[in-house]
Amino acid sequence: MSLTRRGYAVGGICLLAFALGTLFGARALNAVVVPGLVALVVGRVVMYRTTPPTVTRSQPSPGFPEETRTVSLSIEAEQASSATVRERASEGLSVPAEAIETGLPGRVEYDCRLEARGERTLGPALLTLTDALGLFEREFRAARRTGVLVYPPVRPLSDRARLTLLTGEDPLVDDRGEFDSLREYVPGDPLRNVDWKASAKREELVVSEFAAREEKDGISIVAEAAPGRADAMATAAASVALWLLDAGVGIDLATPSGQLSNVSPGEGEEVLALLARAGGGRVGNARRNAADVLVRAETDGSAITTSEKTIPFGRLVRSGSRPGDVSIGAPRAEARSGPDGEGRAATDGGFEGEL
């Protein structure tokens, strides 16, 4: 507990008036001294008896980097009439540095900017309570924190990813599958499919037919990262996983920090939540060897491995997209979620104590 600037001013005026009254006998100055002293005494007693306030912080919804969430703090306190709030946040979140004032009971709102992937926290908030006359103030610190989940950035993938991810083939490689049969040439057939030797023997154009590639009903993905490359791994794995889910393909996903099985289309939020918390490292050899798609983020970049072919992740990304762009099918929340869209609230019912 301490005096405010107004409290120091009132105390100074009382001392000056008392000194002038003692020196010059101006008893009329008692009309200044007595009310001032009464106000100081009452203000101190009120703030001393003030109990820790109850603070309810809204729960921000998960989101992607560069998005903003509107967070509210509802404050209730006995005795005190006003409060100054200073919110604090962990690395990866950005909140206003300036203090916010409100009457009590009251509600304040501020914008929280999501900066980096991971499980981040808001709080504890610092509250400075003031008595009705603004002479004394007392600080409290909220004991509880509120978690904020920041998803990894997701890159939109190009059409080339369809063959690469669903069949394990790179469409830029001349690999048309297994030979099936020969048939007569029909206008519109690709010239590269013409079998020139067979055509010379038959004295007519014939083309080769190849067995159709089979697309898989479910694909297992393993994601790994070298030290310091977990963010790149999460972005590549999220981009691939959400693309497959949007294509109607179920997936299994394993990371060094956890795994998901039988993820169905429409369940992309589970994938994003896992990858938001994923750290670097390696997955067991058995799981890695059984994977249909291996996502690896090394010091020289990220790569996707399918059917013994390794393709740089950048070659699968849609041309002209940005790191912050969200893939088709990614469950993107509104850029700003106010009190009506914040989900359940987290109550700071306890405090670590007075500062």
- CATH fit for domain 54-150+337-354, picks 3.20.20.140, 3.90.1150.10, 2.60.40.10, 3.40.50.300: 2.60.40.10
pLDDT at 214: 52
Among 16-30, 97-111, 267-281, the range with the most confident prediction by mean pLDDT is 267-281
Does pTM top 0.85 for this prediction?
no
∠ CA 319-92-84 to the nearest 5 degrees?
135
Q: What is the mean pLDDT of residues 99-110?
A: 88
pLDDT at 89: 94
- Confidence label for 349 from pLDDT (cuts 50, 70 and 90): very low
Q: What is the mean pLDDT of residues 293-306?
A: 92
Segments making up each domain of the chain, as ranges: 2-48, 54-150+337-354, 160-173+215-316, 179-210
pLDDT at 343: 42
Q: In terms of pLDDT, which residue wins out, 326 or 262?
A: 262
- Confidence label for 247 from pLDDT (cuts 50, 70 and 90): confident
Q: In terms of pLDDT, which residue wins out, 104 or 258?
A: 258
pLDDT at 131: 78
pLDDT at 249: 86
* CA 277/CA 75 separation, integer angstroms: 31
Q: Over the stretch 70-80, which tens digit does the pLDDT of each residue have?
A: 999 998 877 67
State the amino acid at position 187 in one-letter form.
Answer: P
Q: What is the DSSP string of 216-285?
A: PSEEEEEEEE-TT-HHHHHHHHHHHHHHHHHTT-EEEEEETTEEEEEEPTT-HHHHHHHHHH--SB---H
- Averaged pLDDT score across all residues of the chain: 80
Among 4-13, 161-170, 331-340, the range with the most confident prediction by mean pLDDT is 4-13
